Structure 1
């Protein structure tokens, strides 16, 4: 029997909206799961009903801040609830998004993704992980976090990717019944954009459109800045590179 019903955790979020769109466009039945739809993956409220008849869970739910301890607790609790409720509902498997470099991170939100990955891979449901580069939208967040009229943005290497591109890759993975999670020593699938640049370069492009002056800094004080500077959060040679560049993406939004 072909897989046709998907539950999307974090369905109203930045990535989740795109996942729902891609599934719907491809003719699949979708159960959007978020507090806005009456499903709370932390308390478990509404989860059992939402997963009735679901074949695959796509987990793109995320914590709203970068603090490591709170993000870790969110991922541990949410992932455990999704697996347990999914097991009781007879769900076939779960597909979750993570971040490129999560295995190297030692602090902050990216390090919390280690717990997210481990909780998925050790849970009762078969799990698949897709690691993604930072989203194009992250650049706007950095500008929003500035103090005053000048944004100090780290000149750290990145390979930004469009949310829509990540959503398409996640759905491809979720609908493939033969796709297996890599074994020990094998790389976890990655998705990134087509162009390597620095975060400050991307921020300058957006800042010019918003009237914000961007000053490139070395990233000192940021979690794992040294690892980032050495390319630790860039896609590996096995990564799929797809979607628009940051400049191309900006041009479609103006």
Structure 2
């Protein structure tokens, strides 16, 4: 099968492209270097011709609701339009457990993406997952204030991006299923604890200050909205095991 990967250079996309190849399929990355652009839509149709499925692993680094909505709606609509024109039968997307209920800041973009797909008449599958283990790195980058590491008060059940990639490839090689059962990590964690463990493992001595963020965005982070329901399918790799791999 020929599977096109949007966002193939990102945290998840790299794992997706690897998983496609490991499964014995052809992985084609959408990139400006190859003449296709997710935001403008330029060159997408030609890149998608002959593809059996598209996996959208694209993301934005912005936490602004306006910018996040603009990114995810633009990219999703451009991909779906190009897929329809190129005759691609299956669009595979990823969202975040609880994002549509929070519908604020970054999560507003995922909520908008979900809404577009739900009204799409073509073949699609969408998997909602919990935050990745790798999310702790984003927290570290965004929250360093002088000598202090600021961390939002957040409950999470982090999952390995590599395992999520495998789930997406399995979906892409099958028939469109619409919204599929959620997928989360094996253990519930407090984000501040994960940050402390990451810093300790990487040899960084820095005090961690846990702060409740305001508004619906912060409330959803700390009240369990982002946690999976009991009985949700769970990955195998714990944060500790992932951390050990990074240290190795």
Cα separation, 2, equivalents of 1:40 and 1:172: 26
Output the TM-score relative to the length of structure 2. 0.93
Secondary structure (helix, strand or coil) at the match of 1:164 reads: helix
Partner in structure 2 of residue 53 of structure 1: 50
Partner in structure 1 of residue 228 of structure 2: 235
Q: Do 2:130 and 2:157's aligned partners in 1 also have CA atoms closer than 8 Å?
A: yes
Tell me by how many angstroms 1:222 deviates: 6.2
1:16-27 equivalent positions in 2, closer than 5 A: 16-27=13-24
Tell me by how many angstroms 1:200 deviates: 0.4
Gaps of 5+ in 2: none
Tell me by how many angstroms 1:223 deviates: 4.7
Matched, 1:161 2:159: yes
Cα separation, 2, equivalents of 1:57 and 1:21: 15
Matched, 1:198 2:213: no
Tell me by how many angstroms 1:53 deviates: 0.3
- Comparing 235-244 with 90-99, greater Cα deviation is found at 235-244
Q: Do 1:84 and 1:124's aligned partners in 2 also have CA atoms closer than 8 Å?
A: no
| CA-to-aligned-CA distance 1:230-250 (integer Å, 9 cap, x gap) | 211001235221131111101
Cα separation, 1, equivalents of 2:100 and 2:64: 18
Cα separation, 2, equivalents of 1:118 and 1:34: 25
Secondary structure (helix, strand or coil) at the match of 2:228 reads: coil
Match of 1:107 among 93, 104, 115: 104
Partner in structure 1 of residue 123 of structure 2: 126
1:1-254 equivalent positions in 2, closer than 5 A: 4-145=1-142, 146-177=144-175, 180-182=177-179, 188-208=180-200, 209-221=202-214, 223-254=216-247
Cα separation, 2, equivalents of 1:80 and 1:214: 43
Secondary structure (helix, strand or coil) at the match of 1:6 reads: strand
Q: Do 1:190 and 1:238's aligned partners in 2 also have CA atoms closer than 8 Å?
A: no
Secondary structure (helix, strand or coil) at the match of 2:62 reads: coil
| CA-to-aligned-CA distance 1:4-61 (integer Å, 9 cap, x gap) | 1111111111111100000101101121112243320111122111111011111111
Cα separation, 2, equivalents of 1:87 and 1:69: 27
- Shift of the 84–220 alpha-carbon distance from structure 1 to 2, 3 Å rule, reads closer
How many residues are matched? 245
Cα separation, 2, equivalents of 1:122 and 1:238: 28
Deviation >6 Å, runs of 4+: none
Cα separation, 2, equivalents of 1:148 and 1:195: 31
- Comparing 222-231 with 191-200, greater Cα deviation is found at 222-231
Gaps of 5+ in 1: 183-187
Q: Do 1:193 and 1:245's aligned partners in 2 also have CA atoms closer than 8 Å?
A: yes
Output the TM-score relative to the length of structure 1. 0.91
